[in-house]
Structure 1
Amino acid sequence: MTDKRALDLVYAASTPGELAHAYAAWAASYDRETAELGYCLPFLITSWVARYVEKGEGPLLDAGCGTGLTGPYLKALGYEAIEGLDLSADMLRIAESRGAYTALRQAELGQELPWPDGHFRAVFSTGVFTEGHAPAAALDDIARITKPGGHVILTVRDSILETGGFRRKFKELEASGRWRAVEESPPFRAFAIAEPEVLVKAFVFRVS
């Protein structure tokens, strides 16, 4: 499977089953191939986490952790309690091998998540809210499992901000008093080398 073929299959997925199948096929070579493409989001997200979350304040959730690329870098920055979820069992097995996560669960963003209200100090998610991936409706449960005063930190591909209902969901959660917007980045490239048209924005919300 070539880099482009794998990426095309992921973007073309229209159901959670198709997406899980695409990632299962890609899992073994995902890290090498995304590195060759210059995929930078798993590493950049640590900057926003470090900006808003003090070390030792409580557990973090890497929502859509994939092979766990972010975990070791947050651990190197001094964050210890990092949990992860992903749709793909194959990806989670690789994430577990990194030794950076205190717990990993297979779960689907957009369905009810297996944690109680206010469990996490912060939830971060990068590369997940893009073409054919998790829906804007997933933000309701992400906000639910984040404690009051905690942060939701995520990237969203610019092409689906409006068409995917993300702007609408952001405003809905703010209007209902469940969170308030803290930061919105300008658009930037998700891949430093390939796919120059793939632009994302980073968003930070403080849960009420």
Structure 2
Amino acid sequence: MGEKFLNRVYGKMAPAETQALYDAWAATYEAEISENGYATPGRLAKAMAKHVSDTSRPLLDFGCGTGLSGLALQLAGFTTLDGMDPSAQMLNIAREKSTYRTLTEIDIADPSPVPKGAYDLITAIGVIGIGAAPASTIDMLLRALPRGGLLGLSLNDHALREKVYEAALCQWLDTGAARLLVKEYGPHLPAQNIKSNVYIIEKA
């Protein structure tokens, strides 16, 4: 199938290196990730849908990549999806799926790429962790939500071993600025024996 990227992605890299890796991986990403049984998108999408009464409301799929997360969200009943990602090559593949209403390429140097209050439903599926988006992304996304808005995110085993990621979440939960609705540990990439937590958080 060509070059394998999965084992490389969990190394610590500068943001520009991470973006270059995902651009290079775009053409084979879905095949490689699917052969490892990528389960987190389906788990998180189902958990999110249980807490949303109107799944026609716009949902931002932050870090949408090639659109696998969008397909899972669509399968769970969400019908109005917008995607954002820093990888132009991944977005090109997502565009072919016709899953998203809009797709936006974001600048990794932009500290606040999501307009505040634009969405009351946001997901970051397989986005935050080592070799991907930093822990500060959690704070950025929660700040973008209005009160009562929901954030669905995942942290895999690699991220969970680095305390900084859950600590970023606890800064909101421990102060009462957000409320934890779901925290569920389960399969992420079963063929690699990697699991993940999925979280649904409501902004207070």
2:187 pairs with one of 175, 186, 189 = 189
Cα pair distance change 1:85/1:164, threshold 3 Å: farther
* Runs of at least 5 residues in structure 2 that lack an aligned partner in the other structure: none
SS at match of 2:5: helix
Residue by residue over 1:7-30, the C-alpha shift from the partner in whole angstroms, topping out at 9 and shown as x without a partner, is 122222511111111111111111
1:48-106 CA distance string (max 9 Å, x none):
12111223563111111110012234334442221111121100111111111111112
What secondary structure does 1:119 align onto?
coil
After superposing the two structures, state which structure 1 stretch, 72-81 or 84-93, moved more.
72-81
Q: Give the whole-Å Cα distance in 1 for the aligned partners of 2:163 and 2:131.
A: 10
| Of 183, 201, 204, the match for 1:205 | 201
CA distance in 1, matches of 2:170, 2:108: 20
Partner of 2:22: 23
Q: Structure 1 pair 181/109, CA: closer, same or farther in 2 (3 Å)?
A: farther
Partner Cα separation in structure 1 for residue 169 and residue 67 of structure 2: 27
Structure 2: which amino acid aligns with 1:79? F
- Tell me which moved more, 92-101 or 25-34: 25-34
- The question of whether the paired residues in 2 share the 8 Å contact of 1:57 and 1:121 is answered with no
Q: 1:139-175 CA distances to partner (integer Å, 9 max, x unpaired)?
A: 1110122221111111102333362412221221234
User: Any conservation in 2 of the 1:43–1:69 contact (CA below 8 Å)?
Assistant: no
Q: Which shifted more, 37-46 or 74-83?
A: 74-83
Partners of 2:177 and 2:110 in 1: CA distance: 19
Inter-CA distance 72–171: structure 2 relative to 1 (3 Å threshold): closer
Q: Show the counterpart of 1:119.
A: 118
Q: Which residue is equivalent to 2:6? A: 7
CA 1:132 to 1:92, structure 2 compared with 1: closer, same or farther past 3 Å?
same
Matched, 1:145 2:144: yes
Relative to structure 1, the CA distance from residue 40 to residue 109 in structure 2 (aligned partners, 3 Å threshold; closer, same or farther) is farther
Match of 2:85 in 1: 86
Amino acid at match of 1:102: R
1:131 aligns with 130
Contact 2:6 2:32 in 1 (8 A): no
1:36 and 1:56 mapped to 2: Cα distance? 29
**Partner letter of residue 195 of structure 1?**
Q
Secondary structure of 1:183's partner?
strand
Task: Give the distance between the partners of 1:135 and 1:148, measured in 2 at CA.
Answer: 23
Tell me how far 1:203 sits from its aligned partner: 1.2
Gaps of 5+ in 1: none
SS at match of 2:38: coil
| Residue in 2 that maps onto 1:55 | 54
Identity rate, percent: 30
Counterpart-to-counterpart distance in 1, 2:17 and 2:183: 31
Q: Contact between 2:116 and 2:146, CA under 8 Å: does it hold in 1?
A: yes
C-alpha contact (below 8 Å) 2:71/2:99 kept by paired residues = yes
